[in-house]
Amino acid sequence: MKLHREGYTIITVGLLILITIQLLNFWLFTLLSWMWLFLLLTLGVVVMAYLIIQFFRVPARKVSASEKQVICPADGKVVVIEEVEETEYFNDRRIQISIFMSPMNVHANWAPIKGIVNYVKYHKGLFLVAWHPKSSTDNERSTFVVKHPSGQEVLFRQIAGAVARRICYYVEEGQSVEAGDEFGFIKFGSRIDIFLPLDTKLDVKIGDIVKGKLTTIGYLN
Residues forming the active site:
190
Query: How far is Cα of residue 135 from the mean position of the Cα atoms in its chain?
Result: 15
Q: What share of the chain is helix, strand, coil (3-state, %, to 5)?
A: 25, 35, 40
Residues recorded for the chain: 221
Is residue 138 classed exposed, middle or buried when 0-12, 13-18 and 19+ CB atoms within 10 A define those classes? middle
Q: Report the DSSP beta bridge partners of residue 85.
A: 93
Helix (H) or strand (E) segment spanning residue 176:
strand 176-177
Beta strands in 54-114 (DSSP E): 57-58, 69-71, 76-86, 92-101, 108-110
CB 193 within 8 A of CB 41: no
Q: How far is CA 200 from the centre of its chain?
A: 23
10 Å CB burial of residue 137 (0-12, 13-18, 19+) is middle
R_g of the chain, CA atoms, integer Å: 20
